[in-house]
């Protein structure tokens, strides 16, 4: 018989759990292409206890980012698709499908903050 601790080890799939870390090494289906609306292809998803946003950019590339913007934790599922990525509706930070920050409006000219910011992104295939 399995102990309570053993059961927790293999069934808890949060980000910092042994099973969660293992499962994050493998592809997991999160959404079908048909589930993304044609008008605004952005969809919030929850997988293994984490919230993500799945989107399709103007070039037809799909991305999956952590749902919370790294700036102030705003919901990226409410963001706008523009400029090659998903723009946070709160302060306007722009992220591409790979999680790279493309723009940080409000920063002084010459600021390198954008190069230092990265949103957690999941690799995807189609």
Which pLDDT score is estimated for 37?
87
Residue for token pair 């230092």: 116
Angstrom distance (rounded) from CA 24 to CA 6: 19
Residue 81 in tokens: 């698709």
Angstrom distance (rounded) from CA 120 to CA 98: 8
In what helix (H) or strand (E) does residue 119 lie, and over which residues does it extend?
none
| pLDDT tens readout for residues 40-84 | 999 999 998 889 999 999 999 999 999 999 888 899 999 999 988
Entry pTM: 0.82
Which pLDDT score is estimated for 122?
67
Angstrom distance (rounded) from CA 15 to CA 50: 7
């Amino acid at each position: 018989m399995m102990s309570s601790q053993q059961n927790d080890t293999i069934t808890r799939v949060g980000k910092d759990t042994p099973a969660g870390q293992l499962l994050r090494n493998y592809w997991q289906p999160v959404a079908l292409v048909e589930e993304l609306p044609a008008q605004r292809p952005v969809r919030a998803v929850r997988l293994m206890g984490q919230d993500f946003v799945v989107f399709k950019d103007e070039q037809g590339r799909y991305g999956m980012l952590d749902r919370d913007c790294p700036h102030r934790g705003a919901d990226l599922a409410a963001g706008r698709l523009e400029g090659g990525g998903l723009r946070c509706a709160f302060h306007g930070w722009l992220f591409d499908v790979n999680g790279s920050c493309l723009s940080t409006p409000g920063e002084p000219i010459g600021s390198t903050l954008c190069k230092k910011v990265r949103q957690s992104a999941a690799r995807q295939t189609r």
